């Protein structure tokens, strides 16, 4: 442990940006909305995009045994099956199909149906339940000439307000196209299956509904910028807020998933949240103080080994019992838990060293830790427990 600098203190101006917020201008595939006043031009463009990608988007039907569903076959009882319908898209000429992990839901095979109605069997060859990505490969005989892979674009080039297109099979309605814009970037997408959030999420108002999961979110060039994965809704229907896993996550994970069958994420091992003005004031700090309040520390985690402190149980209101406040990671200022999770998951790997700048009751220190692989899940949440990177 060594003394460090507090990112909340004033410092000299700098031209450098945090790596969690840099837009890589070396990629030129970004497509901005048309500025033409002719409404038919935009319609024609969207029609052309649909025709370009319609043979690449598939419906996925996955079936898993359901011990709670008993059926009778020829007079004999048998375990029934649960069926999940979702979407996916062709990745390459070798028959690889990309979708969400929750669409597969533990199945080892699935039916892949193309727009022409032809259905093929595919096996699951890689799955990242934490990141909600799965890759399948068609096992039936097929002609590679009939497969039309989609191009994967660089999602870090996206801008808020950029027009996007979603294609999938909502409620089983095949080959449905909707449009919208990028509403915001680097959102955390809750993953109830593992309790680990998916970082770098793309928020969109393009209508997506159950059945769209696993389908592509496209730019106006017909390139994949994300995988439609979730909606924020109290009713189960679309309410104007949808989320997609960024395409860069697919690029980062695919080679490992096809080789090993899975992908391991780096793990810090804390729960926490953004410090609020009232909490900052109660800790004797300025109300606009920025950072991540550590709620709890997982046993055996890198955070525990590095000596991070969480909130004392049953008392989080007094200064002496508040948890550590993480204000920076490797010199990058942290405003919220979103910043921390995005930085760890998108920019670091298992075995990497991370230096956290911590405010512990007014004492600023740097804690060094080495990231480990995430456990598969963290079980049921405890009261007031938040997202865990």
pLDDT in tens, 135-145: 999 999 988 88
Structure confidence by residue, pLDDT tens digits, 99-153: 999 999 889 999 999 999 999 999 999 999 999 999 999 999 988 888 999 999 9
Q: What percent of the chain has pLDDT over 90?
A: 60
- Residues recognised as catalytic: 102, 132, 213
pLDDT at residue 83 in the model: 84
What average pLDDT does the structure give for the chain? Answer: 83
Enumerate domains of the chain plus CATH numbers: 150-247 (2.40.10.10), 265-373 (2.30.42.10)
pLDDT at residue 14 in the model: 37
pLDDT higher than threshold 90 for residue 283: no
Structure confidence by residue, pLDDT tens digits, 186-211: 998 988 777 788 999 999 999 999 99
**Cβ atoms of residues 135 and 257 within 8 Å:** yes
Strand, coil or helix: 279: helix
Structure confidence by residue, pLDDT tens digits, 351-389: 999 999 999 989 999 999 999 998 876 654 333 333 334
Binned at pLDDT 50, 70 and 90, residue 256 comes out as very high
**What's the pTM value of the predicted model, to 2 decimals?**
0.78
Neighbours of 57 (CB within 10 A): 26
Binned at pLDDT 50, 70 and 90, residue 63 comes out as confident
Structure confidence by residue, pLDDT tens digits, 315-356: 444 444 688 999 999 999 999 888 999 999 989 999 999 999
Nearest to 273 by CA among 332, 339, 321: 339
Mean pLDDT of the 264-286 span: 90
pLDDT higher than threshold 60 for residue 225: yes
What six digits make up the tokens of 66? 């359901």
Nearest to 55 by CA among 15, 114, 97, 7: 114
Beta strands at 363-370 and 109-113: parallel, antiparallel or unpaired: unpaired
């Amino acid at each position: 442990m060594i003394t460090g600098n507090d990112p909340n203190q004033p410092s000299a101006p700098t031209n450098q940006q945090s790596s969690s917020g840099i837009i890589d201008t070396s990629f030129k595939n970004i497509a901005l909305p048309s500025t033409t006043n002719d409404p038919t031009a935009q319609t024609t463009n969207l029609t052309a995009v649909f025709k370009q990608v319609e043979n690449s988007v598939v419906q996925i039907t996955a079936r898993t045994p359901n011990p709670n569903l008993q059926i009778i076959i020829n007079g004999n009882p048998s375990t029934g099956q649960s069926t999940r319908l979702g979407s996916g898209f062709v990745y390459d000429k070798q028959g690889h199909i990309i979708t969400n992990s929750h669409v597969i839901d533990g199945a080892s095979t699935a039916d892949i149906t193309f727009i022409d109605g032809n259905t093929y069997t595919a096996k699951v060859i890689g799955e990242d339940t934490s990141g909600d990505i799965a890759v399948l490969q068609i096992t039936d005989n097929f002609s590679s000439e009939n497969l039309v892979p989609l191009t994967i674009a660089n999602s870090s080039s996206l801008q808020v307000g950029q027009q996007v297109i979603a294609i999938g099979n909502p409620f089983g309605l095949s080959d449905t196209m909707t449009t919208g814009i990028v509403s915001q970037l680097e959102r955390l997408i809750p993953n109830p299956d593992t309790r680990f959030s998916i970082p770098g999420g793309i928020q969109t108002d393009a209508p997506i509904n159950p059945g769209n999961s696993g389908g592509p979110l496209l730019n106006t060039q017909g390139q994949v910028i994300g995988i439609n994965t979730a909606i924020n809704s109290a009713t189960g229907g679309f309410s104007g807020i949808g989320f997609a896993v960024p395409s860069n996550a697919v690029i980062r994970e695919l080679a490992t998933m096809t080789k090993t069958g899975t992908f391991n994420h780096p793990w810090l091992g804390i729960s926490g949240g953004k410090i609020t003005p009232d909490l900052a004031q109660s800790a004797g700090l300025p109300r606009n103080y920025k950072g991540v309040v550590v709620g709890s520390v997982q046993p055996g985690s890198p955070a525990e080994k590095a000596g991070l402190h969480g909130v004392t149980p049953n008392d989080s209101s007094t200064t002496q019992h508040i948890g550590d406040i993480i204000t920076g990671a490797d010199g990058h200022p942290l405003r919220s838990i979103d910043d921390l999770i995005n930085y760890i998951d998108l920019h670091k790997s298992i075995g990497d060293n991370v230096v956290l700048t911590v405010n512990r009751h007014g004492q600023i220190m740097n804690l060094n830790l080495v990231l480990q692989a995430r456990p598969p899940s963290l079980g049921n949440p405890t009261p007031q427990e938040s997202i865990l990177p």
